[in-house]
Amino acid sequence: MIRVGIVGGTGYTGAELLRLLARHPRVTLSAITSRGEAGLAVADLFPHLRGRVDLAFTEPDPGRLGECDLVFFATPNGTAMKMAPALLDRGVKLIDLAADFRLKDPKVWEHWYDMPHACPELLAEAVYGLPEIHREAIRSARLIANPGCYPTAVTLGFLPLLEQGLVDPDWLVADVKSGVSGAGRKASVGMLMAEVGESFKAYGVGGHRHQPEIAQNLASVLGTDLRLTFVPHLLPMIRGIEATLYARLGEPGYDLQDLYRTRYHDEPFVDVMPAGACPDTRSVRGSNYCRIAVTEPLGQGIAVVQSVIDNLVKGAAGQAIQNMNLMFAFEETLALEDLALLP
Q: What is the percent of the chain with per-residue pLDDT over 90, rounded to a whole number?
A: 90
* Contact between 152 and 314 (Cβ < 8 Å): yes
Q: Average model confidence (pLDDT) for the chain?
A: 95
Q: Give 178-205 as a DSSP string.
A: E-GGGG-SS--GGGSHHHHTT--EE--T
pLDDT over 90 (residue 152): yes
Note the pLDDT of residue 166.
Answer: 95
pLDDT over 90 (residue 241): yes
Note the pLDDT of residue 239.
Answer: 95
Note the pLDDT of residue 189.
Answer: 80
Q: How many CA atoms lie within 13 A of 91 on its CB side?
A: 4
Digit-coded pLDDT (tens) for 327-337: 999 999 999 99
Instruction: Return d(Cα 303, Cα 86) in angstroms, integer.
Output: 47
pLDDT over 80 (residue 186): no
Note the pLDDT of residue 343.
Answer: 85
Note the pLDDT of residue 253.
Answer: 79
Short-list 274, 263, 267, 239, CA closest to 336: 267
Note the pLDDT of residue 151.
Answer: 98
Bond before 343 cis per omega within 30 degrees: yes
- The set of catalytic residues is 149
Short-list 70, 87, 57, CA closest to 27: 70
Note the pLDDT of residue 10.
Answer: 92
Domains of the chain: 2-125 (3.40.50.720), 150-311 (3.30.360.10)
pLDDT over 80 (residue 190): no
Note the pLDDT of residue 62.
Answer: 93
Digit-coded pLDDT (tens) for 3-61: 999 999 899 999 999 999 999 999 999 999 999 899 999 999 999 999 999 999 999 99
Q: Which residues contact 121 (CB under 8 A, 6 or more apart)?
A: none
Note the pLDDT of residue 185.
Answer: 73
